[in-house]
Amino acid sequence: MRKSDIVTLDAGGLAVMGRALRARPTRADVVWKSGIALALVALVVASLRFGVPPVVVAFLSEDRAPTETALSIALTALVLAYGAFTFFHALRYRPVAPVDHGELPDVSVVVPAYNEGPMVRVALLSALGSDYPPSKLHVIAVDDGSKDDTWRHIAEVARAHPHRVTAIRQPRNMGKREALREGFVRARGDVVVTVDSDSQLDPRALSEAVAPIVRDAEVAAVAGKVLVLNRYESALTRLLAARFFLTFDLSRAVQSRFGAVLCCPGALTAYRRSAVMRVLERWSAQTFLGAPCTIGEDRALTTWLLREGHRAVYQSTAVVHTIVPSAMAGVAKMLVRWERGNVRESLVMLPLLFTRWRTRDRIFPTLDVLLDLLQFPFGCALGWVILGRISARPLEIVGVLATMGLVAFVQSLYCLRSEKGTDFLYNVGYAFLAAVGLQWVFPYSCVTLRNGAWLTR
């Protein structure tokens, strides 16, 4: 579905949400979630019926060598301990309390856009319509050489709000990093908030996002909570919505406890402008393996700030809704782009990890980056063990799938902390989808790190 199909203009020229974005759960949701639940129950029952043990139990079977069994037990214990550690800290996470309007700093909201069409109007108007004091809010819209009607939408919003919106038009497409750089340079506020042009802010998102910066002088970046705007558009967007909530909310909540959120998202992040300006030129001119870094700009800027000793935290009460691809091809391209940026920045941070790169809370961020880099070799080793057992005992595929589903189910229960209902079951569906169709993303991203193509534009 095109953005022009889900965003229209009313009689007054304002952008409004189309049916796909306003939709609510339907009978299709009941069918999908019932199917996922029944499939999970069937797998567990079949596993018990055929005597097929889950993967962890299979590690301990009698036909394995003592050394191999001991290694399996140790590995399993480490994985369970790390999982318990992350859940413990995720459950202890609390957002920073909001500040009074009188304490709110001047804020510049930067919205870079390229071929976004009417959706950019939604992003701009959601910022202008927030509950932030108008006298302290300035919006900067940067058209990065769009070839569609993006500039028309930006210009019309700027004309309607001449003292609150600055419209900038790049002479050609120079990349999102350069568009953001232009916004940071033009910013007037003590805090700069970046918002993607395909996103819509909740009314309190800006005032909530700046609170950690006001209350803690060490905080230089605040990640907002990213939810899926078109979550009910298709079965795939439903799966992504559940995965976004679990992956981003849980991981960032844990990382925030140690002041080291590794990626503050482009969809919504508040930055202390003085901190960004000290790394702006190095960030904007960054190269990797001799090639300019044109993707992963949000992860890269977070990396630069962490390297400088600042803290990056998560504010779950600062909510933004963003559009995700509704087809598998678009999702795969999005994930490849993200993974390339993540791997690149983890490698960039690697030399720092064994130094005193932070004065406090150093151990967990170091472990977090190392585990991110080790996920592929660990996954290959685990996959080799599983394939070996399945080739010898084909029915054990049932136990593998049941274990995968149960682990995803237990993880998904975290969603109930914020989202009541049964939508968390979609994360179980995503786990199966990822296992079957997305295992290639990480290795492919690793061998194509120099490729800076945006892919989804």
Cβ atoms of residues 6 and 22 within 8 Å:
no
What DSSP string runs through 366-432?
HHHHHHHHHHHHHHHHHHHHHHHHHHH-TTHHHHHHHHHHHHHHHHHGGGGGT--SSTTHHHHHHHH
CATH superfamily of the domain spanning 101-338: Spore Coat Polysaccharide Biosynthesis Protein SpsA; Chain A (3.90.550.10)
What pTM, to 2 d.p., does this model score? 0.89
Show the 3-state SS of 172-220: CCCCHHHHHHHHHHHCCCCEEEEECCCEEECCCHHHHHHHHHHHCCCEE
| Integer CA distances (angstroms), 434 to 8, 9, 67, in order | 34, 37, 32
For residue 454, is pLDDT > 90?
no
Q: Cα(31)–Cα(55) distance, rounded to whole angstroms?
A: 29
Residue 12 confidence (pLDDT): 41
How confident is the model over 346-355, as pLDDT tens digits? 999 998 888 8
| Integer CA distances (angstroms), 23 to 118, 231, 430, in order | 19, 9, 21
For residue 161, is pLDDT > 90?
yes
Burial class of residue 347, CB neighbours in 10 A (0-12, 13-18, 19+) = middle
Residue 168 confidence (pLDDT): 97
Task: Return the higher-pLDDT residue of 155 and 398.
Answer: 155
Indicate the average pLDDT of the chain. Answer: 87
Measured at the CA of 382, the angle between CA 376 and CA 385, to 5 degrees, comes to 140
How confident is the model over 258-285, as pLDDT tens digits? 999 999 999 999 999 999 999 999 999 9
Dihedral (CA of 380, 384, 387, 389) sign:
negative
pLDDT-derived band of residue 14, with 50, 70 and 90 as boundaries?
very low
Comma-separated ranges of CATH 3.90.550.10 domains in the chain? 101-338
Cβ atoms of residues 109 and 195 within 8 Å:
yes
> Backbone phi, then psi, for 226, in 5-degree steps?
-100, 120
